[in-house]
Amino acid sequence: MSIAKSIDAAAGVPYKRRVMQRLPHPAILWTANVLVPGSGLVLIGRMASGVACVVLWTATVGLLLLATLVWPDAVSAVPVAALAVSSGLLFAGAQGFLYVTERSLRRHREDEARDAAFREVLAATLRGAQDEAEQRCRTLLARDPDDLEATLHLALLARRAGRPAEAARMLRRVRFLDDTSRWDFQVERDLAAVTDRAPPSLESP
């Protein structure tokens, strides 16, 4: 199957991943999590871990305050120190967990947005809107110059528009970006078509 057919067929693949809801503003998220460790996790939907962290931290700090302010003579230094260390660890753990989780969610949202943009490229191509498809491809590449699919599709569009030099440049870029060698044969075949070389053979030498 040629690159053109592979990409055209991809437009019919249903989009199954769920689009995530809007995340709270980072300032609100982190202010809440600093004031009450774990509340930031609740705000981004991590209810179980967030509530557990809030309850543990609140209980630990409450016991620490009782031990130091209400019954300072009834509690020895060792339990007080243990409570202080525990509350500090819970605070640091909540901040670290929120950082990792929020970063993962925002990266996933960026992937969702990128996939939606590429589907618009495919839709424009199928409608025959060559200029629109090219513009959308170039927008994707401006955001991420290493976007293999956008580069590959732009090579297809350049070839269809009768710009073999640009198509060849994009195909060589795809060959450079394709670490898994998934597109090697198709790239070589399309390169042969735009540079008047002999196409590669599937037969073993």
DSSP string, 20-58: PPPPPPHHHHHHHHHHSTTHHHHHTT-HHHHHHHHHHHH
Name which residue leads in pLDDT, 88 or 205.
Answer: 88
Closest to 119 in 3D by CA, of 9, 203, 11, 8: 11
Q: How big is the chain by its Cα radius of gyration, in Å?
A: 27
Check residue 68 and report its DSSP letter.
I
Segment 137-160, tens digit of pLDDT: 999 999 888 888 899 999 999 988
Residue 62 pLDDT > 80, yes or no?
yes
- Amino acid present at 17: R
Calpha distance 142→130 (Å, rounded): 18
Calpha distance 147→140 (Å, rounded): 7
pLDDT, average across residues 114-135: 91
Calpha distance 171→6 (Å, rounded): 15
- Quickly state the pLDDT bin for 50 (edges 50, 70, 90): very high
Name which residue leads in pLDDT, 13 or 119.
Answer: 119
Neighbours of 203 (CB within 10 A): 5
**Structure token digits, residue 15:** 């989009």
Closest to 87 in 3D by CA, of 56, 133, 111, 116: 56
Residues in the chain: 205
Whether 38 and 99 have beta carbons less than 8 Å apart is answered as no
Residue bearing tokens 């007080």:
80
Whether 187 and 175 have beta carbons less than 8 Å apart is answered as yes
Instruction: Please list, in sequence order, all residues whose beta carbon lies within 8 angstroms of the beta carbon of residue 85, skipping any fewer than 6 positions away.
Output: none
Whether 83 and 63 have beta carbons less than 8 Å apart is answered as yes
Calpha distance 168→194 (Å, rounded): 6
Tell me, rounded to whole angstroms, the distance of Cα 146 from its chain centroid.
14
Domain boundaries, the chain: 26-107, 128-195
CATH superfamily of 128-195: Tetratricopeptide repeat domain (1.25.40.10)
Residue 88 pLDDT > 60, yes or no?
yes
Residue 12 pLDDT > 50, yes or no?
no
